[in-house]
Amino acid sequence: MLNLRLYFYFMLMLTGFFIACEAEDDSNTNCTGVVATYDTTVKSHLNEHCAISGCHAGPILANGMDLSTYASAKAIALAPGSKMICAIEHGSGCVPMPQGGNKLDASVIKVIKCWVENGAPQ
């Protein structure tokens, strides 16, 4: 009987652990203290990693996405069903960006996510 109780408590704790882990959702980034505007932070990251000729700037745009201007970057970031964040996070079901390159630094991803979550301010 004691073994059955221990098993029950162990399973209860294990279930609680999995529920707690599942509850963690990265879709809402803690943006406290992050000042993410296009002009102050995002533009330089996009220009360095995305808005490169042959990728998302210049006469030939990958997937027709231009990330070289505020207006076009904002439109892409806030478009319904946008996969911009999924792509830079190398998320499941998205083409990892930068394509053929390493995943962006977590701090860069956080800045871009905060920018998008706050409505992509200029």
For residue 118, what are the contacts with CB-CB under 8 A and spacing of at least 6?
31, 36
Give phi and psi for 53, each to the nearest 5. -55, 130
Spatial separation of the C-alpha atoms in residues 92 and 46, rounded to whole Å: 22
Please provide the average confidence, as pLDDT, over all residues in the chain: 82
Q: Assess whether pLDDT exceeds 60 at residue 122.
A: yes
| 77: confidence class by pLDDT, cuts 50, 70, 90 | very high
Consecutive H or E run containing 69: none
Cα 86 to chain center, whole Å?
Answer: 5
pTM, two decimals, is 0.74
